[in-house]
């Protein structure tokens, strides 16, 4: 038994490296999005109370305005509801700064519609069922999107990012940074 423990402990580092390289989560998290990068392109189904007839949304739909692209785990959960309500409360301030708020999770479109209706959300929520777009934005932790946000300028360039945000104060932080960048 003691020999087995010695053999395992000698090979533990090798086993750990092999595990990390083979792990899908590790590979996904290695995609880094940097300030100054062009925002990764996307086309996703979604829902917007202000544009209920539009089903397919593209990054190019937000060209010419600032885009607050926030990823979140799940409709109707406590942290996600707090964050969405805070973004909604501040949405008139974002609009004054020529900014659109767009949320992405892997919830289905009907869930987004129900969430927007129940919480009176006026901004767009997009459906990333397989996490493909979330992965492009270093925001996928299967089976959910991570709580990350990217501030994209009117030309489609990432100007700021927040990773693993606190939903209680995050929308205020985003508004503050957007105001700073426009001065």
Q: Does the active-site annotation cover 80?
A: yes
Question: Which of 28, 68, 80, 116 is the catalytic position?
Answer: 80
Cα–Cα distance measured from residue 132 to residue 41, given in angstroms and rounded to the nearest whole number? 11
Nearest to 128 by CA among 151, 144, 114: 144
Helix (H) or strand (E) holding 49: none
Task: Let me know: does 106 contact 143? Beta carbons within 8 Å.
Answer: yes
Name the packing angle between helices 170-181 and 78-96 (round to 10°): 20
Examine residue 143 and say whether the peptide bond preceding it is cis (omega within 30 degrees of 0): yes
Nearest to 116 by CA among 134, 138, 91: 91
First and final C-alpha spacing in the chain? 67
Opening angle at CA 96, ends 114 and 50, nearest 5: 25
List, by residue number, the catalytic residues: 80
């Amino acid at each position: 038994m003691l020999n087995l423990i010695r053999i395992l402990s000698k090979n533990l580092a090798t086993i750990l490296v092999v595990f990390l390289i083979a792990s899908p989560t590790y590979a996904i998290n290695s995609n880094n999005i940097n300030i100054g990068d062009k925002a990764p392109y996307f086309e996703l189904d979604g829902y917007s109370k202000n544009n209920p007839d539009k089903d397919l949304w593209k990054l190019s739909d937000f060209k010419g305005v600032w885009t607050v692209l926030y990823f979140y785990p799940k409709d109707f959960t406590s942290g996600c509801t707090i964050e969405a309500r805070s973004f909604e409360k501040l949405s008139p301030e974002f609009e004054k700064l020529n900014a659109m708020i767009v949320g992405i999770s892997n919830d289905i479109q009907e869930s987004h519609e129900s969430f927007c209706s129940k919480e009176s959300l006026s901004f767009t929520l997009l459906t990333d069922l397989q996490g493909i777009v979330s992965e492009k934005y270093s925001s996928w932790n299967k089976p959910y999107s991570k709580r990350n946000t990217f501030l994209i300028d009117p030309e489609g360039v990432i100007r700021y990012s927040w990773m693993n945000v606190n939903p209680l104060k995050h929308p205020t932080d985003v508004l503050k940074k957007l105001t700073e960048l426009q001065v």
